[in-house]
């Protein structure tokens, strides 16, 4: 773990000096996390690719503005979620889209009733997340998927910790209501 | 209805399951590299002559100082790099945030307050390019001995249509810009002369050996070869600029689906928006 952190810090230092190899290394490490987070926020595969692209281009262009070499991930997340938030707000997709339905249909290996029930429950929860307004959805994704603390989310979004807590609470209540209904 | 901890773990599991079969494609990496190449032509490409060891640089080993001076004079005035004003070389460094300063056109007035002056701009062009965001950047200019000459805020307004982007850069006029290249097209709008220039950038790997054709192209004042790319890529920059009321305006984009006249039309729309 410590070695990983050191390796990442080295990549950041090299990237600040213009190393394309360092950029490729960081991209490889975070590309799937980035596109998945973007997908959960935008609810759309095409948008999530655009968001990931824009995020990594900004990383390349602005890496020297990162003051703390060990803080790459939260800094990148800040760029990512703000870019995704913007895309999500623009698209205003608050219902599941066709792509998500197709992807759900393509899921394989459902061999037991128990699996089906658990899968349906997971799909319903995922749909409830997608149905949230984007400002609530962003904090839910950052907290539950990216495992960020309230403080980290507040820093990334530039809002108060109390606002994050309030949004998480509201999101949770809304989702519960949707799932009950 | 749900126990809190149980619900939390269910949300976590559901989100993981929802996206665990998504992964970044090879094409996406190509798109990122291509986009970086294009952005570099606006920024990094022009920092090559920097005396700051930390400056990012494209390895333009085959370029002479003179050539770099010409490149910059011919290319972007309002982005980072070395430019030539009043016959002297000036290093321009522009820093800004990775996230846009404003994403709502209604905030233009706030941006103008930060700049300290009003600018000409439009929210939407008649050809469909529409407002994306505004960035306020900090420009610093250094002289030949790396002495700081001046600094000022500058504005960048981005427009988009389909997958194409055009940026409008605005800054206060400091000194007269020397442009040796003849413009590809010009238009007079009232008492303002607008010029349009087209440039070709060829990005090549560090190990690339110039062909005879490359060597001939390099002699042109609108063709540049830049080292450091993974693959060979040729991209076209269209650049429109004018000066009005003590401000420099520069409208530019890469591989646009617009010709010189259409770019001049956009400049005219901005000028008429006054």
Sequence ranges of the domains in chain B: 26-272
| Residue A174 structure tokens | 């809304």
pLDDT at position B42: 60
Residue carrying the six token digits 């002699």: B219
Confidence of residue B254 (pLDDT cuts 50, 70, 90): confident
Chain B residues in contact with A65 (beta carbon < 8 A): 95, 97-98
pLDDT at position B242: 93
pLDDT at position A181: 67
Lowest mean pLDDT across A100-114, A133-147, B144-158: A100-114
pLDDT in tens, A71-117: 898 889 989 988 888 776 666 544 444 444 444 444 434 455 555 56
Tell if the CB–CB gap between B57 and A18 is shorter than 8 Å.
yes
Phi, psi of B84 (to 5 degrees): -115, 110
Confidence of residue B177 (pLDDT cuts 50, 70, 90): low
Q: Pick the closest to residue A7 from A34, A36, A31, A28 (CA basis).
A: A28
Q: Pick the closest to residue B155 from B177, B179, B131, B175 (CA basis).
A: B131
Tell if the CB–CB gap between A176 and B7 is shorter than 8 Å.
yes
pLDDT at position A56: 94
pLDDT at position B220: 84
The verdict on domain A2-180 having CATH code 1.10.10.10 is yes
**Secondary structure of B177-234 in the HEC alphabet?**
ECCCCCCCEEEEECCEEEEEEEEEEEEECCCCCCCHHHHHHHCCCCEEEEECCCCCEE
Closest-CA residue in chain A for B4?
A172
Q: Bridge partners of B225?
A: B202
* HSE-up of residue B55 (Cα within 13 Å, Cβ side): 22
Distance from chain centroid for Cα B88? 23
Task: Note whether B47 and B55 are within 8 A (CB).
Answer: yes
For residues B106 and B92, give the distance between their C-alpha atoms in angstroms, rounded to a whole number. 30
Q: Which of B32, B44, B103 sits opposite A57 (nearest CB)?
A: B32
Tell if the CB–CB gap between A121 and B31 is shorter than 8 Å.
no
Tell if the CB–CB gap between B14 and A16 is shorter than 8 Å.
no
Lowest mean pLDDT across A16-30, A66-80, B27-41, B252-266: B27-41
Q: How many CB pairs under 8 A join A and B?
A: 116
Distance from CA of A31 to the nearest CA of B (A): 6
* HSE-up of residue B39 (Cα within 13 Å, Cβ side): 16
Q: Is the pLDDT of residue B79 over 70?
A: no
| Residue B171 structure tokens | 């800054």
Tell if the CB–CB gap between A56 and B19 is shorter than 8 Å.
no
For residues A27 and A108, give the distance between their C-alpha atoms in angstroms, rounded to a whole number. 29
Of A28, A45, A53, which to mutate for an interface test with B (greatest number of B Cβ within 10 Å)? A53
- 3-class DSSP assignment, residue B59: coil
| Residue B204 structure tokens | 């090549």
Chain A residues in contact with B14 (beta carbon < 8 A): 121-123, 125-126, 129
Average pLDDT over residues B82-95: 57
Distance from CA of A85 to the nearest CA of B (A): 11
Distance from chain centroid for Cα B8? 44
Cα dist from B4 to A22, A125, A152, A172, B243, whole Å? 42, 14, 22, 9, 62
Distance from CA of B192 to the nearest CA of A (A): 34
For residues B109 and B103, give the distance between their C-alpha atoms in angstroms, rounded to a whole number. 13
What's the farthest any 2 CA atoms get from each other in chain A?
55
pLDDT at position B94: 66
Q: Is the pLDDT of residue B194 over 60?
A: yes
CB-CB neighbours of A39 under 10 Å = 25
Lowest mean pLDDT across A141-150, B133-142, B264-273: B133-142
> Which helix (DSSP H) or strand (DSSP E) does residue B12 occupy?
helix B4-19
Question: ipTM higher than 0.90?
Answer: no
Closest-CA residue in chain A for B3?
A176
| Residue B134 structure tokens | 């505004």
Query: Could you say which DSSP state residue B101 is in?
Result: S
Q: Which of B19, B44, B98 sits opposite A79 (nearest CB)?
A: B98
Tell if the CB–CB gap between A31 and B29 is shorter than 8 Å.
yes
């Amino acid at each position: 773990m410590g070695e990983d952190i050191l390796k990442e810090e080295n990549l950041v230092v090299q990237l600040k000096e213009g190393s394309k190899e360092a950029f490729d290394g960081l991209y490889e490490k975070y590309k799937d996390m980035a596109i998945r987070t973007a997908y959960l926020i935008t609810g759309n595969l095409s948008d999530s690719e655009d968001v990931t692209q824009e995020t990594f281009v900004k990383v390349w262009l602005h890496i020297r503005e990162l003051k703390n070499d060990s803080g790459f991930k939260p800094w990148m997340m800040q760029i990512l979620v703000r870019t995704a938030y913007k895309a999500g707000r623009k698209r205003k997709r608050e219902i599941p889209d066709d792509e998500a339905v197709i992807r759900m249909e393509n899921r394989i290996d459902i061999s037991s009733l128990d699996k089906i029930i658990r899968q349906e429950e997971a799909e319903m929860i995922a749909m409830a997340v997608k149905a949230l307004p984007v400002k609530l959805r962003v904090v839910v994704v950052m907290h539950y998927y990216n495992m960020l603390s309230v403080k980290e989310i507040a820093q990334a979004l530039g809002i108060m910790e109390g606002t994050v807590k309030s949004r998480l609470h509201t999101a949770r209540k809304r989702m519960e209501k949707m799932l009950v209904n | 209805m749900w126990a809190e901890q149980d619900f939390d773990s269910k949300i976590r599991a559901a989100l993981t399951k929802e996206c665990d079969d998504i992964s970044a494609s090879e094409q996406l990496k190509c798109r990122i590299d291509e986009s970086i190449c294009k952005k570099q032509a606006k920024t990094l490409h022009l920092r090559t002559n920097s005396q700051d060891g930390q400056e990012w640089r494209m390895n333009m080993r085959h370029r002479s100082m003179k050539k770099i001076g010409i490149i910059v004079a011919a290319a972007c005035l309002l982005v980072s790099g070395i430019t030539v004003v009043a016959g002297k070389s000036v290093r321009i460094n522009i820093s800004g945030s990775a996230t846009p300063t404003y994403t709502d056109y209604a905030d233009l007035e706030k941006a103008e307050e930060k700049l300290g002056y009003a600018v000409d701009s439009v929210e939407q062009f008649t050809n469909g390019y529409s407002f994306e965001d505004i960035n306020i950047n900090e420009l610093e200019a250094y002289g030949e001995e790396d002495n700081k000459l001046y600094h000022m805020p500058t504005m960048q307004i981005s427009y988009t249509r389909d997958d194409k982007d055009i940026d409008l850069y605005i800054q206060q006029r400091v000194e007269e810009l020397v442009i040796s290249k003849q413009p590809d097209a010009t238009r007079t709008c009232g008492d303002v002369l607008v010029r349009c220039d087209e440039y070709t950038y060829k990005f090549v790997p560090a190990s690339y050996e110039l062909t005879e054709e490359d060597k001939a192209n390099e002699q042109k004042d609108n063709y540049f070869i830049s080292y450091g790319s993974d693959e060979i890529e040729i991209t076209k920059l269209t650049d429109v600029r004018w000066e009005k009321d003590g401000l420099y305006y520069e409208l530019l984009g890469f591989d646009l689906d617009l010709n010189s006249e259409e770019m001049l039309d956009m400049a005219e729309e901005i000028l008429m928006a006054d």
